[in-house]
């Protein structure tokens, strides 16, 4: 079952999409918190996703900068999640490419190619909380939606309305103490299993980030958010992701998800 990162949709966590024919509210409500999270993350049957998005980064003083990115996502035969992000604009970041391989076992490998350096650099596990390309997202955030539910302990806190929609409010606490967040609170639509909002807390219990998804519309039978906003509370900054084009099921060569593609931008 296909999963997606926060940048694609991550209502992501991210991050998001849900097949219109997914679980009904009645069947979902009979499940425990872990099953609800699993259903929310595993609801897509598209073999691939490709998209073009604009990331608008707003600083504390209100100034903005913009990135245009292409993304390609596809599982391999072993059930590993693969994501390639290619920066197209502005000129200062054009040609930057980022690859994530999320293994079925739960661990991940990440690499980035920076044109200025002219070489591929592997992202160390210790860099998970580091910022990604000047946005409000970290390297860990990019793979949040493909995070395996078994990596966290989930608790159904309550049920309440969010934006007029009945939601499950679920707390997820990472089992790995090295993960950058101490807990996450998710608002998941009871009927559609769409994830509207996530609050991310540090190990001291302080709310550090929020992610909010909005403007859901049908694309090829999947509810897709038009806008995702990630806010860093202490810094007073936020990054808004606008999905301009998204396609499900398009053919994507396996060669796109390689370090060779990172270096050359060509699938072999």
Task: Label residue 105 by pLDDT band (50, 70, 90).
Answer: low
Between strands 119-123 and 152-162, the pairing is unpaired
Structural domain contains residue 10: no
Structural domain contains residue 43: yes
Structural domain including 165 reads 18-264
Q: Tell me which residue of 53, 58, 82 sits closest to 69, measured CA to CA.
A: 53
Pairwise CA distance, residues 135 & 158, whole Å: 32
Task: Evaluate if residue 69 carries a pLDDT over 80.
Answer: yes
Phi, psi for 236 (deg, rounded to 5): 70, 25
Structural domain contains residue 13: no
Question: According to the model, what pLDDT value does residue 104 have?
Answer: 67
Q: For residues 117-126, give the mean pLDDT.
A: 87
Task: Evaluate if residue 264 carries a pLDDT over 70.
Answer: yes
Structural domain contains residue 188: yes
Q: Tell me which residue of 166, 165, 159, 135 sits closest to 231, measured CA to CA.
A: 135
Task: Evaluate if residue 108 carries a pLDDT over 60.
Answer: yes
Task: Evaluate if residue 12 carries a pLDDT over 50.
Answer: no
Question: According to the model, what pLDDT value does residue 87 have?
Answer: 96
What total of structural domains would you count in the chain? 1
Question: According to the model, what pLDDT value does residue 117 have?
Answer: 87
Residue 179 is given by DSSP the state S
Task: Evaluate if residue 89 carries a pLDDT over 80.
Answer: yes
Which has more pLDDT, 106 or 192? 192
Structural domain contains residue 2: no
Structural domain contains residue 252: yes
Task: Evaluate if residue 241 carries a pLDDT over 70.
Answer: yes
Question: According to the model, what pLDDT value does residue 61 have?
Answer: 95
Task: Label residue 40 by pLDDT band (50, 70, 90).
Answer: confident
Structural domain contains residue 113: yes
Task: Label residue 146 by pLDDT band (50, 70, 90).
Answer: low
CB 254 within 8 Å of CB 73:
no
Share of residues in the chain with pLDDT > 90 (%): 58
Pairwise CA distance, residues 203 & 185, whole Å: 14
Question: According to the model, what pLDDT value does residue 8 have?
Answer: 46
- Three-state DSSP at 236 gives coil
Task: Evaluate if residue 96 carries a pLDDT over 60.
Answer: yes
Return the CATH number at 150: 2.50.20.10
Residue 148 is given by DSSP the state -
Q: For residues 147-172, give the mean pLDDT.
A: 91
Structural domain contains residue 6: no
Task: Label residue 129 by pLDDT band (50, 70, 90).
Answer: confident
- Three-state DSSP at 135 gives coil
Task: Evaluate if residue 79 carries a pLDDT over 90.
Answer: no
């Amino acid at each position: 079952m296909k999963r997606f990162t926060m940048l694609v949709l991550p209502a992501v966590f991210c991050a998001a999409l849900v097949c219109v024919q997914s679980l009904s509210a009645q069947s979902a409500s009979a499940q425990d918190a872990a099953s609800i999270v699993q259903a929310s993350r595993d609801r897509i049957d598209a073999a691939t996703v490709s998209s073009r998005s604009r990331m608008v980064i707003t600083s504390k003083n209100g100034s903005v900068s913009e990135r245009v990115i292409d993304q390609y996502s596809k599982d391999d035969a072993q059930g590993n999640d693969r994501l390639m992000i290619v920066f197209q604009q502005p000129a200062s970041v054009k040609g930057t490419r980022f690859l994530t391989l999320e293994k079925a076992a739960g661990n991940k490998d990440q690499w980035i190619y920076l044109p200025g350096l002219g070489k591929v650099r592997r992202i160390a596990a210790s860099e998970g909380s580091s910022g990604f390309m000047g946005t409000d997202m970290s390297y860990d955030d990019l793979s949040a939606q493909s995070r395996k539910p078994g990596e966290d302990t989930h608790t159904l806190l309550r049920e309440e309305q969010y934006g007029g929609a009945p939601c499950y409010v679920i707390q997820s606490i990472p089992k790995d103490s090295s993960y950058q967040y101490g807990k996450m609170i998710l608002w998941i639509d009871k009927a559609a299993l769409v994830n509207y909002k996530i609050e991310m807390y540090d190990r001291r219990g302080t709310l550090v980030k929020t992610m909010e998804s909005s403007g859901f519309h049908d694309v090829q039978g999947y509810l897709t958010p038009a806008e995702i906003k990630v806010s860093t509370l202490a810094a007073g900054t936020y990054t808004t992701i606008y999905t301009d084009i998204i396609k499900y099921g398009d053919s994507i060569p396996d060669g796109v998800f390689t370090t060779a593609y990172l270096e050359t931008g060509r699938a072999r």
